[in-house]
Structure 1
């Protein structure tokens, strides 16, 4: 089992940021690969992708302007296994990635991911009022894990909040994805 590669680029509409890879993702080398994870369905149902992609196609989403990373790269069964030191190191790595790649929006997939990154509590869904990296929209969405009890349609509606940033990105790029 290995950490999975980040999918990064200098021309991203959204960089999706997870806690860390699942065991299944570590085995396959692809983001959101656990069969119970609803991420790919949510992206499609929210109108962010033209079709439902499979985890093994995660690298293809760079063509749509979407990248992937995690605050911690070590695969675990649950986020509870991540150490404080791993979060501290991950926070610094993530800050550097956002400053270098400057996506239009950074979507933190889970409130806990944003809490670990920002050090803030009492976080609302959607765009955060005081981004830590100037010029990058920090957007918090629910985790897509099958362990999350929030109904998929509610999660999808929150992810739909990314559409204005994606549209703005595409307009700035002359309508190209």
Structure 2
């Protein structure tokens, strides 16, 4: 496990970016709203201790065990990846402007068209509504696509999202996993 950043290191991480964990042809490209300061300081997506992304990913059956944020590159072996709507890190997602979210939505569309995952899974319905200009979007499968990529909106796994328990969140992630054709096979051991 990586060392926890100091308060000074967290503040210095403001506005940094975290590289995507992505490749062409993924089964599911998960998309966060934007990196937290903890994620930017560590270089790991969903790194904040209260974030439920990693436990929910496992509970829903996407991964055979709970991965740690620093193991994020193992997702690629399962046909999974991570990106963000907005690249810059903030302490809270509500620090982002609607303009940033809309601009991020345009960039995300271009990224999805280039990478062509089977599914784009955006975690956070409010950010999705703003980024994609769809005020009526709800949690679940969306009607529209980005090229051939289908879109699913998931609950935000942030610990600040108290409206969703980890179990309820895992059920929604599980619905996506089933729609996406199940969990990818585990990585093969080296010969």
Q: TM-score, normalised by structure 2?
A: 0.84
Q: Does 1:147 align with 2:160?
A: yes
Match of 1:33 among 34, 47, 52: 47
Q: 1:103/1:12 Cα in 2 relative to 1: closer, same or farther (>3 Å)?
A: same
Aligned residues: 172
Unpaired segments of 5 or more residues in structure 2? 1-12
Q: Which has the larger radius of gyration?
A: 2
Q: Secondary structure at the match of 2:106?
A: helix
User: Displaced runs of 4+ in structure 1, greater than 3 A?
Assistant: none
- Map Cα deviations across residues 74-122 of structure 1 (whole Å, 9 max, x no partner): 1111111112332232111101001111101000001023212320112
- Map Cα deviations across residues 23-69 of structure 1 (whole Å, 9 max, x no partner): 10011010000000010000000011010000011111111111111
User: In the alignment, which residue of structure 1 is the partner of 2:133?
Assistant: 119
Q: Secondary structure at the match of 1:167?
A: coil
Contact 1:44 1:50 in 2 (8 A): yes
User: In the alignment, which residue of structure 1 is the partner of 2:19?
Assistant: 5
Q: TM-score, normalised by structure 1?
A: 0.91
Q: 1:147/1:176 Cα in 2 relative to 1: closer, same or farther (>3 Å)?
A: closer
User: RMSD over aligned Cα, in angstroms?
Assistant: 1.7
Unpaired segments of 5 or more residues in structure 1? none
Shift of 1:169: 8.8
